[in-house]
Amino acid sequence: MGNGGIAIRKKLLYSITALLFLVLILNIGAGAAASTAQASGSTTGTIKTTTTSNTTLVSGLTSAQIKDGYTRAQNFYNTNHRLPNYVSYGTKKVMISDFQTILATQGLKINMYYSRPVYITSDNINNKTADNTRINNIVTGLKALGIKAYNMGIGPNTHVKVLQNTNVPQNALIVDIYGGADAGTLLEMGQSWYKKIKGARSVYSIFWPPSKVITGLAFLERAHDDNYSPASFTGLANPDQYLINNGYNYIYSKDIKTIVNSIFKQVSTN
C-alpha cells in the first residue's frame, strides 16, 4: 500500500476518535443537567413542606387564629366575668379547656382576675389606725396576686356608701369587714333598696373575731346599738342561710392570708 492509503486511514481514524469524544461530551452534559434538575426539584419540595408545616400550629389552628380566639375569649370574660364554654371558628367549636391548653403552647393565658377590682370597707372594730392597717394589709396581699384593690374607708355606713359611689364599677367585688354580726345590717342586704344600689356588683362579708359566728346559728338577735331597724325587729333567723339565699358569701377569720385567699377565690370564681 502506498503513502496515499496510509494517509486516508489516518484521517479516518482521526474522524472516528473525534466522533467518540463528541458523544462522550454530550452524555456527560445530559447527566449533569439531569442531576441539576433533580437537585432543583428536591429543594423546591423541601421549601413547600417547610411552608406547610409552619402554617398549621396546634389542632389545625394557625398562630393568627389562636391569637384571634384568645382576644375573643378574653373580651368575653371581661364582659361576663366567666369563661366561655367554647371558642368557635366557623362551624368548628373548641372547648374552653382544650383551648386553654392550646394557648399554653403559645405562652398565652386568659386573664381571669385583673379585670375585676376589689373595694374594701370596714366597720369600727378596734381603732382607726388598726382598722386602716388591716384593710391596707389585705390590699397589699391582693395586689401581690395581681388584683386591683382599694381601701374605701372606715365607719358604720361605709358598706352602703361604697355602693352609692358611681365611680365603683358594676363588675366590682365589694368586701365589707365587720367586728360583729349585726342582724339589722344582714337583713337590709336582702331588701330591694339595697339590691338596687348594689346593682351587678358582688358583696362579700368578712366577720372579724370576736364577732359572733353565724354559721349554723338558729337566731341572731338584734344588736344593742341598732337604732335603724323597725321597732318590731328582734333579730334574724338562720342568718347564714339568709345571706346565702340572697346570693352572698362570707368568711369568719382574723388571719390576713386566709382572708386574702378567700377574696381571691371570690374574684376568680364568682
Beta bridge partners of 221: 235
The phi and psi torsions of 214 (rounded to 5 degrees) equal -95, -15
pTM here is 0.62
Beta bridge partners of 202: 173
Q: What is the mean pLDDT of the segment spanning 69-95?
A: 89
Q: What is the mean pLDDT of the segment spanning 90-94?
A: 93
Say which residue the cell 369600727 belongs to.
124
Give Cα separations from 226 to 68, 102, 126, 183 (angstroms). Answer: 55, 56, 19, 9
**pLDDT attached to residue 235:** 98
**pLDDT attached to residue 42:** 38
Q: CA Rg, the chain, in Å? A: 40
Contact 117, 173 (CB under 8 A): yes
Give Cα separations from 2 to 8, 12, 13, 86, 201 (angstroms). Answer: 10, 16, 17, 103, 125
pLDDT in tens, 212-265: 999 999 999 999 999 999 999 999 999 999 999 999 999 999 999 999 999 988
- For the four alpha carbons of 162, 167, 169 and 170, in that order, the dihedral sign comes to positive
Q: Is the pLDDT assigned to residue 37 strictly greater than 80?
A: no
Q: Is the pLDDT assigned to residue 89 strictly greater than 60?
A: yes
pLDDT in tens, 123-164: 999 999 999 999 999 999 998 887 899 999 999 999 999 999
Per-residue confidence band for 49, with pLDDT thresholds at 50, 70 and 90? very low
Pull the grid cell for residue 167.
Answer: 365611680
Pull the grid cell for residue 122.
Answer: 370596714
Pull the grid cell for residue 166.
Answer: 358611681
Contact 244, 214 (CB under 8 A): no
**pLDDT attached to residue 35:** 47
For the chain, the structural domain boundaries read: 63-105, 118-269
**pLDDT attached to residue 20:** 58
Q: Is the pLDDT assigned to residue 180 strictly greater than 60?
A: yes
pLDDT in tens, 182-220: 999 999 999 999 999 999 999 999 999 999 999 999 999
**pLDDT attached to residue 14:** 58
**pLDDT attached to residue 198:** 98
Per-residue confidence band for 86, with pLDDT thresholds at 50, 70 and 90? very high
Average pLDDT, the chain: 84
User: What's the topology of domain 118-269?
Assistant: Rossmann fold (3.40.50)
